[in-house]
Structure 1
Amino acid sequence: MRVLVTRPQPDADATAARLVAAGFHAQVDPMLVVEALGEAHLPAGRFDAVALTSVNGARLLATRAELAGLSRLPFFTVGHRTAAAAPDHLAEMHIASGNAAALVTLLRDTLPRGARVLHVAGEDRAVELGEALAPAGIEVALFVIYRAVPARALAAETVAAIRAGRIDAAFHFSPRTAATLVECAKAAGIVEDAARIAHLCFSRNVAAPLEAVGWPTRIAEAPTEEGLFALLRG
């Protein structure tokens, strides 16, 4: 069985290696390229906590000079994958159960009214923490340190494999990678061919752009890579 992996690097190669170790074949074609924003400036003022809502934000924060002034604060992450990518030697870590709603609840239940949270994120975000936490009296300052640029086209070998029916399944980790794959499939004229693939998704939000063009989707019980592997084996 050959599985298409469209998540950004370096995570795409890590997922591919895990697929190969499990006895599958992997076709890697990232639909997003992550670009660090070195010119980003830390917002002024004090912070009572730091929130991380993506693996890329967690990974890139570890490379920035601002980390030295933040590492003693409590960190809140959306899930275990993001926590694993976070900088080492943080003073305190709180981990939500894997989605934005759970992170909002964790922040609201842990921090007092009047707290100020630094949200380390990308230009495109699945959740606006400031809006979600305002009713709880918690202020959020946004620190955008990367952007994710959509791919312009599928690789020629991916197009050929889909046309020939050599892709059996695809892993989908985010709405943006899923939507970008749909647009690239339209441009390559392979939307109907891609409907023969089993599209395995983190969540209903991830599946939405795929279902809009009639592709069959299955949703993981938990929004984790393990959940996608469970679908693959099932």
Structure 2
Amino acid sequence: MLVLVTRPEPAAQQTAARLAAMGHEALVDPMLRIAPTGAALPDGPFEAVAFTSVNGVKALAAHADFARFRGLPAFAVGPRTAREARQAGFPEVTDCDGDAAALAGRLAAALGTGARVLHPAGEDRAADLGALLEGHGLRVALAIVYAAVPADALGPATRAALAAGTIGAALHFSPRTVKTLLACAGDAGLDAALREVRHLCLSAQVAAALGACRSVAVAAAPNEDALLALL
């Protein structure tokens, strides 16, 4: 099956490799490009670092001020983010194996009232970690360490595949990639063709960004394993 993958690089190629191992062909057309902001990081002290994405880990690890935070306990939203945090050198990583609410719950259980948490993230976030922790007495310092720049057009291979009706499924990891894909398909006059594709979504929030489509399925859990299980 030809599967459209629109998540940013390098994650898109990692997903493509998993699809190939499953016997599928990946059509990679990233709808977002991740770029570090280089913004100054807030002053400490901090008791922990909380990651809601792999990109947050990568951007913090590449930051000139990373050494100041490397020894802190790290809490990661899921397995891939946890692996990235370990590879970045964090000595203690907690895999919260869920979503932002699960991450907030683990942080609240592990840290005392008044603890301060650094949250390296992007400009656009699916959840407000600070709001989720407000009732637990934890303080979250948000650091915008990366930006996601939207694509302005579909790639030629994607346009051709949509026009020919050869895409068997599209994988969707975030509302913003969905919205960018819909906009690019509309500009190409292929929005109707895109809506006929089978759409597989990481969460209900991602699915909601699609609007009306012929076939939409939501993963049983917000991780790539559950998403690929829909194929």
In the superposition, the TM-score normalised over structure 2's length comes to 0.95
Structure 2 residue 175 is matched with structure 1 residue 175 = yes
| Cα pair 1:119 1:141 within 8 Å, conserved | yes
Paired residues for 1:153-192 under 5 Å: 153-192=153-192
Moved more, 86-95 or 169-178: 86-95
Structure 2 residue 46 is matched with structure 1 residue 47 = yes
User: Corresponding residue for 1:69?
Assistant: 68
Structure 2 residue 194 is matched with structure 1 residue 198 = no
Structure 1 CA distance for aligned equivalents of residues 214 and 150 of structure 2? 20
Q: Measure how far apart 1:215 and its partner are.
A: 4.2
Aligned letter for 2:13? D
Structure 2 residue 216 is matched with structure 1 residue 217 = yes
Moved more, 43-52 or 89-98: 89-98
Residue by residue, what CA displacement relative to the aligned partner does 1:91-120 show, whole Å, maximum 9, x if unpaired?
211111220110111111111111001111
Residue by residue, what CA displacement relative to the aligned partner does 1:166-196 show, whole Å, maximum 9, x if unpaired?
1110111111111111111111111211122
Residue by residue, what CA displacement relative to the aligned partner does 1:146-168 show, whole Å, maximum 9, x if unpaired?
00011111112211110111111
Secondary structure of the corresponding residue to residue 94 of structure 1? strand
RMSD between superposed Cα atoms in Å? 1.3
Structure 2 CA distance for aligned equivalents of residues 223 and 188 of structure 1? 30
| Cα pair 1:194 1:215 within 8 Å, conserved | no
Secondary structure of the corresponding residue to residue 152 of structure 1? coil
| Cα pair 2:4 2:170 within 8 Å, conserved | yes
User: Corresponding residue for 2:152?
Assistant: 152
Q: Measure how far apart 1:204 and its partner are.
A: 0.5
Aligned letter for 1:5? V
Secondary structure of the corresponding residue to residue 101 of structure 1? helix
Structure 2 residue 33 is matched with structure 1 residue 33 = yes
- Total equivalences in the alignment: 230
Q: Measure how far apart 1:70 and its partner are.
A: 1.2
Q: Measure how far apart 1:214 and its partner are.
A: 2.8
Q: Measure how far apart 1:66 and its partner are.
A: 2.1
| Cα pair 1:182 1:209 within 8 Å, conserved | no
| Cα pair 1:5 1:16 within 8 Å, conserved | yes
Secondary structure of the corresponding residue to residue 105 of structure 2? helix
| Cα pair 2:78 2:223 within 8 Å, conserved | no
User: Corresponding residue for 1:80?
Assistant: 79
Secondary structure of the corresponding residue to residue 199 of structure 1? strand
Deviation above 4 Å: which 4+ runs of structure 1?
none
* Unpaired stretches in structure 2, ≥5 consecutive residues: none
User: Corresponding residue for 1:10?
Assistant: 10
Structure 1 CA distance for aligned equivalents of residues 89 and 164 of structure 2? 49
* Unpaired stretches in structure 1, ≥5 consecutive residues: none
| Cα pair 1:191 1:213 within 8 Å, conserved | no
Moved more, 59-68 or 112-121: 59-68
Aligned letter for 1:171? L
Moved more, 179-188 or 114-123: 179-188
| Cα pair 1:72 1:90 within 8 Å, conserved | yes
Structure 2 CA distance for aligned equivalents of residues 51 and 98 of structure 1? 13
Structure 2 CA distance for aligned equivalents of residues 199 and 52 of structure 1? 27
Residue by residue, what CA displacement relative to the aligned partner does 1:48-71 show, whole Å, maximum 9, x if unpaired?
111111110112222223221212
User: Corresponding residue for 1:97?
Assistant: 97
Q: Alpha carbons of 1:88 and 1:209: their partners in 2 closer, same or farther (altered >3 Å)?
A: closer
| Cα pair 2:5 2:171 within 8 Å, conserved | yes
